[in-house]
Amino acid sequence: MKINANYKNLNESYLFSTIARKVNEYKAANPQKEIIKLGIGDVTLPLVKPVVDALKKASDEMGVKETFRGYDDQIGYPFFKEAVAAYYKKKNVTLSHNEIFISDGAKSDIGNIVDIFGKDNTVLVPDPVYPVYVDTNIMDGRKIVYIAASKENGFLPLPDNKISADIIYLCSPNNPTGAAYNRDQLKLWVDYALSRGAVILFDAAYECFIADKALPSSIYEIEGADKCAVEFCSFSKTAGFTGVRCGYTIVPESLIADGVSLNKLWRRRQSTKFNGVSYIIQRGAEAVFSKDGQSEILRNIEYYMKNAGLIDNALEKKGVYHTGGKNSPYIWLECFDGRESWDFFDYLLNTCGVVGTPGGGFGETGKYFFRLTAFNSYENTRKAVEKLSAL
Amino acid sequence: MKINANYKNLNESYLFSTIARKVNEYKAANPQKEIIKLGIGDVTLPLVKPVVDALKKASDEMGVKETFRGYDDQIGYPFFKEAVAAYYKKKNVTLSHNEIFISDGAKSDIGNIVDIFGKDNTVLVPDPVYPVYVDTNIMDGRKIVYIAASKENGFLPLPDNKISADIIYLCSPNNPTGAAYNRDQLKLWVDYALSRGAVILFDAAYECFIADKALPSSIYEIEGADKCAVEFCSFSKTAGFTGVRCGYTIVPESLIADGVSLNKLWRRRQSTKFNGVSYIIQRGAEAVFSKDGQSEILRNIEYYMKNAGLIDNALEKKGVYHTGGKNSPYIWLECFDGRESWDFFDYLLNTCGVVGTPGGGFGETGKYFFRLTAFNSYENTRKAVEKLSAL
């Protein structure tokens, strides 16, 4: 038996394990010092009540013969797809149930979607980047080209006609930079993809954090995107579902690539290698879209965005270049005094006990940048910001 | 953009849609006639109370800050892996937590495991077969060779040293035939795999139906299997989790193939393309292994096996050749009077309103066979058996 030899080309990421080791060493050496983690990529607020109630009600239904549900052969129940379609309707995007694929999270679908693409495509990935985009393509042996996000382009790289690409990854608002594309910028990407028969894989996992209503929160708000883009969305950050697991992927019926309907291809992939999401979880996720669900979730998002605002304002006042924090829970800042990101990590930890994530861990262009997140408590975020401001 | 051209080699399965159409036509023509479905592959009994209670308790925990859980970075919580390990301990199989991968179901893992294997392996698949084994390998363009299960070998094909294979699919108790390997037979497969450095993918989704304690319910009961086999298990049939979604895959740390630890390879795959199973669902599945959970689940299994016994006895009495029904909820029978399976389907439907699944839908060797299942109610199964006996 021969293994998939492409796995030998994967780099192990020691980013978070190295951070953990450094924090533990600091703790051991400074047992009395307080540490505040602004590197958290996970949510911290619990599920809202309408979701918990829906989960419990559905659990009860599953314990009664008359309301028990077995296999969900439709890759998502109609009641839930209806809720997703209604959510998109508010963005002036019309979706049929057939275009909505319910999954156990955006990471699974972003990871698995490459199954339906040939190995001989060239993949375009912005740098810095969510490592899953890169690793899943290394696993398949595809050629990857990077496009640099930088201070010069505001960490929002635009298409370069000199670069030939077949599959394009975009994430907006971005992880890790928090930068969000406007309509004109996304239109350039859509036109670029259409002009060369490329497919955009659009990661919209952070769309709920967009506060500026002029910014698009779905790529389908851009004309032509239904002919070139797949969109991934998640309840992880929207509704604190990181430990609940639910997301959805939109594959428009009008998306024809290489003469084939990608919708049909993805349906074939999912019906062969996936058996749907728990009925219980789908009911919980449906409640996210209810009136009560939406208002409670909005409160949680506002809580995180208040934290982001604290960091954003402090950096503004200090005159530190940064992106994010306005339409994203992530803040991506230039390390103080031209430091390299791991050096800055040590500096922050040692001078004020604040932990963040070195930008170098997300790619070459992140070498002099640093990621802070809004997912700690308000009290802790305020304390950390005071310490940062005093530096 | 080029699609994965292997998808063009997939056959669409019209098995269940054709059955549905024929049943609907019969209903329209005979509105007064009763139809009894013994073709159901899904469970019908609801979740047991200990599971429902655990799901609700975990849902409540997720609504409280102090007990909320986010990402499960370990591909399964220790509390749950501990329960799985204890279950295997009863089979005299010792597993470390590291060898247990919790997933959203056996179908996902059986579908995704091929990611870690090279495309140039030869795959050995018994015929008749669960279509996922075949389709996932067609999607990757691997060479597939079939080994015939037949009346001659009791639908339990044994290794043939003339056949060269790198990846071997085994399912015991089998879907669709219900036949279960004994220790000596499985040992022959393990020895065959070890002798040629092949890997066995062992689908144990129906292990809980094994009533004969002399039969192995895990391939790891066979010496040497920890060096050549991956085992997939599911709560779908065990505990009625078809709509809850939870399973687990065992990849022994001692399983080295092509000089590489498959455990490490699978961990890399899962940590890149998967984000774990809902905490709520893991708590529900843990309750399956509790004392109360086990006793209630055993009652459900006995209920289904009483149905299987009814069918088994009736066929025995009638002198119809069949496999399964004793250690499996499936009964695989030779069609009466030498009929071809679709012809037999029509015959059964028209003479007694009983619906089953034509064996031809599972592969070439199923052409004169037919699958009945034990998942309908006792009353309906009894009625159907009386009608079958009178034929």
Q: How far apart are CA A136 and CA A319, in angstroms?
A: 38
Q: Which of B111, B63, B61 minimizes the C-alpha distance to B286? A: B61
Find out whether B266 and A235 touch, Cβ atoms under 8 Å.
no
Backbone angles phi, psi at B107, to 5 degrees: -60, -40
For residue B47, is pLDDT > 90?
Answer: yes
Cβ within 8 Å, pair A277-B104 = yes
- State residue A41's pLDDT score: 86
Nearest by CB: A258 against B1, B64, B240: B1
Residue whose structure tokens are 């960490």: A155
Q: Work out the minimum CA distance from B318 to partner chain A, whole angstroms.
A: 33
Residue whose structure tokens are 């309408």: A50
Q: Work out the minimum CA distance from A100 to partner chain B, whole angstroms.
A: 19
Nearest by CB: B3 against A3, A72, A117: A117
| H or E segment and range at residue A303 | helix A291-318
Amino acid symbol at A76 = G
Residue of A nearest to B72 (CA): A243
- State residue B290's pLDDT score: 97
Q: Which of B142, B98, B91 minimizes the C-alpha distance to B120? A: B142
Please list every residue in chain A whose beta carbon sits closer than 8 Å to the beta carbon of residue B264. none
For residue B4, is pLDDT > 90?
Answer: yes
Q: Work out the minimum CA distance from A320 to partner chain B, whole angstroms.
A: 32
- The structure's pTM equals 0.96
Q: Helix/strand/coil (H, E, C) string of A158-175?
A: CCCCCCCCCEEEEECCCC
Cβ within 8 Å, pair B107-A275 = yes
- State residue B110's pLDDT score: 98
Give the length of chain B.
391
Q: Which of B185, B139, B144, B183 minimizes the C-alpha distance to B166? A: B144
Residue of A nearest to B1 (CA): A166
Please list every residue in chain A whose beta carbon sits closer than 8 Å to the beta carbon of residue B198. 1
Question: Is omega for the bond preceding A46 within 30 degrees of 0, making it cis?
Answer: no
Amino acid symbol at A128 = P
Nearest by CB: B69 against A63, A119, A243: A243
Q: How far apart are CA B126 and CA A10, in angstroms?
A: 34
Question: Is omega for the bond preceding A176 within 30 degrees of 0, making it cis?
Answer: yes
For residue B157, is pLDDT > 90?
Answer: yes
Cβ within 8 Å, pair A56-B59 = yes
Residue of B nearest to A65 (CA): B46
Find out whether B247 and B217 touch, Cβ atoms under 8 Å.
no
Q: How far apart are CA A86 and CA A95, in angstroms?
A: 9
Cβ within 8 Å, pair A45-B56 = no
Strands A354-355 and A36-37, bridge-based pairing: parallel
Q: Which of B88, B89, B45 minimizes the C-alpha distance to B377? A: B45
Cβ within 8 Å, pair B240-A268 = no
Cβ within 8 Å, pair A278-B132 = no
Give the length of chain A.
391
Please list every residue in chain B whose beta carbon sits closer than 8 Å to the beta carbon of residue A192. none
Nearest by CB: A4 against B7, B51, B118: B118
Q: How confident is the model at residue B359 (pLDDT cuts 50, 70, 90)?
A: very high
Strands A256-257 and A260-261, bridge-based pairing: antiparallel
Q: What is the CATH number of domain A69-290?
A: 3.40.640.10
Alpha carbon separation from B92 to A341, B216, B289 (Å, rounded): 51, 11, 16
Cβ within 8 Å, pair B244-A278 = yes
Cβ within 8 Å, pair B132-A63 = no
Q: How confident is the model at residue B40 (pLDDT cuts 50, 70, 90)?
A: confident
- For B133-146, what is the mean pLDDT? 97
Count Cα atoms within 13 angstroms, Cβ side, for A121.
Answer: 27
Cβ within 8 Å, pair A70-B108 = no
Residue of A nearest to B168 (CA): A1
Cβ within 8 Å, pair B258-A105 = no
Residue of A nearest to B194 (CA): A1
Cβ within 8 Å, pair B273-A72 = no
Q: How far apart are CA B15 and CA B29, in angstroms?
A: 21
- For B216-240, what is the mean pLDDT? 97
Please list every residue in chain A whose beta carbon sits closer than 8 Å to the beta carbon of residue B284. 59
Strands A357-358 and A369-373, bridge-based pairing: antiparallel
Amino acid symbol at B330 = Y
Beta pairing partners, A339: none
- State residue B41's pLDDT score: 86
Residue of A nearest to B60 (CA): A52
The percent of residues above 70 in pLDDT, for chain B, comes to 100
Residue of B nearest to A270 (CA): B108
- Report the b/e string of A321-348 with b at 16+ CB within 10 A: ebbbbbbbbbbbbbbeeebebbebbebb
- State residue A16's pLDDT score: 86
- Report the b/e string of B58-71 with b at 16+ CB within 10 A: bbebbbeeeebbbb
Please list every residue in chain A whose beta carbon sits closer than 8 Å to the beta carbon of residue B166. 1-2
Find out whether B35 and B272 touch, Cβ atoms under 8 Å.
no
- State residue A38's pLDDT score: 94
- DSSP 8-state class, residue A376: S
Chain A with chain B: Cβ pairs closer than 8 A? 241
The residue extents of the domains of chain A are: 5-46+292-390, 69-290
Please list every residue in chain A whose beta carbon sits closer than 8 Å to the beta carbon of residue B1. 117-118, 121, 166-167, 197-199, 257-258
| H or E segment and range at residue A212 | none
Read off the tokens for B22: 């024929």
Q: How confident is the model at residue B93 (pLDDT cuts 50, 70, 90)?
A: very high
Residue of A nearest to B134 (CA): A272
Beta pairing partners, B112: none
Please list every residue in chain A whose beta carbon sits closer than 8 Å to the beta carbon of residue B373. none
- Report the b/e string of A296-306 with b at 16+ CB within 10 A: bbeebbeebbe
Alpha carbon separation from B273 to A17, A113, A139 (Å, rounded): 19, 10, 11
Please list every residue in chain A whose beta carbon sits closer than 8 Å to the beta carbon of residue B45. 65, 68
Q: Helix/strand/coil (H, E, C) string of chain B?
A: CCECHHHHHCCCCCHHHHHHHHHHHHHHHCCCCCCEECCCCCCCCCCCHHHHHHHHHHHHHHCCCCCCCCCCCCCCCHHHHHHHHHHHHCCCCCCCHHHEEEECCHHHHHHHHHHHECCCCEEEEEECCCHHHHHHHHHHCCEEEEEECCCCCCCCCCCCCCCCCCEEEEECCCCCCCCCCCHHHHHHHHHHHHHHCCEEEEECCCHHHCCCCCCCCCHHHCCCHHHCEEEEEECCCCCCCCCCCCEEEECCCCCEECCEEHHHHHHHHHHHHCCCCCHHHHHHHHHHCCHHHHHHHHHHHHHHHHHHHHHHHHHHHHCCCEEECCCCCEEEEECHHHCCHHHHHHHHHHHHCEECEEHHHHCHHHCCEEEEECCCCHHHHHHHHHHHHHC
Fold match flag (A5-46+292-390 vs A69-290): no
Q: Which of A191, A192, A170 minimizes the C-alpha distance to A181? A: A170
Q: How far apart are CA A273 and CA B4, in angstroms?
A: 15
Q: What is the CATH number of domain B5-46+292-390?
A: 3.90.1150.10
Cβ within 8 Å, pair B115-A4 = yes
Q: What is the CA radius of gyration of chain A?
A: 21
Nearest by CB: B60 against A2, A52, A274: A52
Please list every residue in chain B whose beta carbon sits closer than 8 Å to the beta carbon of residue A117. 1-4
For residue B16, is pLDDT > 90?
Answer: no
ipTM over 0.85: yes
Backbone angles phi, psi at B290, to 5 degrees: -70, 165
Read off the tokens for B232: 């997939």
Nearest by CB: B63 against A49, A166, A242: A49
Give all strands (DSSP E) within A195-235, no chain letters.
Answer: 199-203, 229-234
Cβ within 8 Å, pair B118-A3 = yes
Per-residue pLDDT of chain A (391 residues; tens, 9 = 90+): 999 999 999 988 788 889 999 999 999 999 999 999 999 889 999 999 999 999 999 999 999 999 999 999 889 999 999 999 999 999 999 999 999 999 999 999 999 999 999 999 999 999 999 999 999 999 999 999 999 999 999 999 999 999 999 999 999 999 999 999 999 999 999 999 999 999 999 999 999 999 999 999 999 999 999 999 999 999 999 999 999 999 999 999 999 999 999 999 999 999 999 999 999 999 999 999 999 999 999 999 999 999 999 999 999 999 999 999 999 999 999 999 999 999 999 999 999 999 999 999 998 899 999 999 999 999 999 999 999 999 8
Backbone angles phi, psi at B306, to 5 degrees: -65, -40
Nearest by CB: A43 against B1, B70, B104: B70
Q: How far apart are CA B7 and CA A14, in angstroms?
A: 36
Residue of B nearest to A193 (CA): B1
Q: How confident is the model at residue B114 (pLDDT cuts 50, 70, 90)?
A: very high
Residue of B nearest to A48 (CA): B63
For residue B73, is pLDDT > 90?
Answer: no
Q: Which of B253, B309, B239 minimizes the C-alpha distance to B281? A: B239
Find out whether B196 and B205 touch, Cβ atoms under 8 Å.
no
- For B367-387, what is the mean pLDDT? 97
CATH 2.40.160.100 corresponds to the domain B49-290: no
CA angle A140, A145, A150 (to 5 degrees): 135
Cβ within 8 Å, pair B273-A49 = no
Please list every residue in chain B whose beta carbon sits closer than 8 Å to the beta carbon of residue A198. 1
Cβ within 8 Å, pair A62-B45 = no
Nearest by CB: B108 against A43, A198, A273: A273
Please list every residue in chain A whose beta carbon sits closer than 8 Å to the beta carbon of residue B244. 62, 278-280
Find out whether A368 and A334 touch, Cβ atoms under 8 Å.
yes
Residue whose structure tokens are 């859980």: B69
Amino acid symbol at A125 = V
- For B292-305, what is the mean pLDDT? 97
Read off the tokens for B159: 């290794």
